[in-house]
């Protein structure tokens, strides 16, 4: 049985990845390392210690802590590292870039040094389409050969980490992959992000703030489709390669919000347009031909069905949502919209 160290495994995508792997037919064991910052929620995997006692273990730690991660690698006989750990919210990176550099760049370098020390079989860096910058409406989707033009401190920190990962492959022959995915949605997403924020506000008949005119376009992918691709790349991806992961679901933000309101049978009068944020990328779109051709992967969850299931999940898990909100995590976001 191979053992994967998943960093950031209490976050939205990381926790769904752990759930996906352990519910699959793969003979894999998971060690989850998470600092438990504001977006790391133990409730996402609260049943796992008992349910998967022989295949799952959690450590509270910082990926910048070389000595602690080093001890985990030795104790748990780690074969693979999948790095989900990151500060991810663009608005927060504008207000405080320092923590993004520390976690996303220094933390990644720490994990790379540990991987090199222990000759890890594969280091997989989970990145983002935002490192490519912004597309115009008629531009072709991003491919793996596009240059990197990050436009926010967040995307710049992720691009920096990607370059570090590539350098360790080229310089030290460390087996690595980088995945760059479009916007994720699904269960357990922290409610500062667009979809859960809109769902929560609509459920409570609060205003739905949309930047600018709502014409910014994102390509949406269900988190389970993303994680199926990450696992495929980890186990089958050619070392040194970058793989784009897309959902084939481009939507304007305003159209997405209207879909959510329609599902919830709420009035579009709840929509409120607010001042656009600095450096707001116009459009993201992903070409995933490479991973489809080389690894036989493609998205399987239709967005129309996926968004209905996601809205229903939040309706069915009001306690989870309220627990997050009652910890005052949303106060930052509400204040942020009032001041931008």
The residues that are catalytic are 129-130, 154
Helix pair angle (318-326, 329-339), 10° resolution? 70
**pTM for this model (two decimals):** 0.93
User: For residue 186, is it left (φ>0), alpha (ψ between -120 and 50) or beta?
Assistant: left
Q: What is the CA radius of gyration of the chain?
A: 19
Query: Which DSSP symbol is given to 283?
Result: B
* Chain segment 49-90, per-residue pLDDT in tens: 778 888 999 999 999 999 999 999 999 999 999 999 988 777
Q: How confident is the model at residue 332 (pLDDT cuts 50, 70, 90)?
A: very low
| β-strand partners of 127 | 180
**Is 65 part of any domain?**
yes
Count of domains observed in the chain: 1
**Is 242 part of any domain?**
yes
Nearest C-alpha neighbor of 4 from the set 112, 104, 124: 124
Tell me how many degrees the CA angle 305-311-312 measures, rounded to the nearest 5.
90
How many C-beta atoms surround the C-beta of residue 323 within 10 A?
12
Question: Which residues form the domain of 26?
Answer: 2-185+220-246+281-301
**Is 81 part of any domain?**
yes
Residue 204 buriedness (CB in 10 A; 0-12 / 13-18 / 19+): exposed
Q: How confident is the model at residue 190 (pLDDT cuts 50, 70, 90)?
A: confident
Q: Report the C-alpha gap between 123 and 82 in whole angstroms.
A: 6
Q: How confident is the model at residue 339 (pLDDT cuts 50, 70, 90)?
A: very low
User: Two tokens at 230?
Assistant: 């990450």
Q: Report the C-alpha gap between 51 and 320 in whole angstroms.
A: 19
* Chain segment 269-298, per-residue pLDDT in tens: 999 999 998 888 999 999 999 999 999 999
Looking at residue 333, its pLDDT comes to: 45
Looking at residue 146, its pLDDT comes to: 97
Phi, then psi, of 7 in degrees rounded to 5: -95, 140
How many C-beta atoms surround the C-beta of residue 240 within 10 A?
15
Residue 42: pLDDT over 80: yes
Looking at residue 19, its pLDDT comes to: 95
Nearest C-alpha neighbor of 56 from the set 65, 66, 46: 46
For the chain, strand residue ranges (E) read: 2-7, 28-34, 56-60, 80-83, 122-128, 176-181, 183-185, 208-211, 217-222, 242-245, 250-252, 271-274
Looking at residue 328, its pLDDT comes to: 53
User: What's the number of CA atoms in the CB half-sphere (13 Å) around residue 73?
Assistant: 25
**Is 136 part of any domain?**
yes
Report the CATH number that the domain containing residue 28 is assigned in CATH: 3.40.50.720
Residue 43 buriedness (CB in 10 A; 0-12 / 13-18 / 19+): middle
b/e per residue 146-162 (b: at least 16 CB within 10 A): bebebbbbbbbbbbbbb
**Is 295 part of any domain?**
yes
């Amino acid at each position: 049985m191979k053992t994967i160290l998943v960093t950031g495994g209490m976050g939205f995508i990381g926790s769904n990845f752990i759930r996906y792997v352990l519910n699959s037919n793969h003979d894999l064991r998971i060690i989850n390392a998470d600092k438990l910052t504001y977006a790391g929620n133990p409730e996402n995997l609260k049943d796992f210690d008992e349910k998967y006692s022989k295949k799952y273990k959690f450590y509270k730690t910082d990926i910048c802590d070389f000595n602690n991660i080093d001890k985990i690698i030795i104790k748990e006989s780690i074969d693979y590292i999948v790095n989900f750990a990151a500060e991810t919210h663009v608005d927060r990176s504008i207000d405080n870039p320092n923590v993004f550099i520390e976690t996303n760049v220094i933390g990644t370098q720490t994990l790379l040094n540990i991987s090199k020390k222990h000759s890890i079989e594969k280091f997989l860096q989970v990145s983002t389409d935002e490192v490519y910058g912004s597309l115009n409406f008629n531009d072709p989707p991003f491919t793996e050969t596009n240059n990197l033009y990050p436009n926010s401190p967040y995307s710049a920190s992720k691009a920096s980490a990607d370059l570090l990962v590539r350098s360790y492959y080229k310089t030290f022959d460390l087996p690595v992959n980088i995945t760059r995915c479009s916007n994720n949605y699904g269960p357990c997403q922290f409610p500062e992000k667009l979809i859960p924020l809109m769902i929560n506000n609509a459920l409570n008949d609060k205003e739905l703030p949309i930047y600018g005119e709502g014409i910014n376009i994102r390509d949406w992918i269900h988190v389970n489709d993303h994680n199926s691709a990450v696992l495929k790349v980890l186990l089958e991806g050619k070392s040194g390669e970058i793989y784009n992961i897309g959902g084939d679901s481009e939507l304007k933000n305003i159209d997405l919000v209207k879909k959510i309101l329609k599902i919830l049978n709420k009035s579009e009068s709840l929509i409120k347009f607010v001042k656009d944020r600095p450096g707001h990328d116009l459009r993201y779109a992903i070409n995933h031909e490479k991973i489809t051709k080389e690894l036989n992967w493609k998205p399987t969850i239709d967005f129309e069905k996926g968004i209905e299931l996601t809205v229903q999940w939040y309706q069915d898990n009001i306690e989870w949502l309220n627990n997050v909100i009652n910890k005052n995590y949303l106060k930052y976001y509400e204040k942020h919209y009032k001041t931008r």
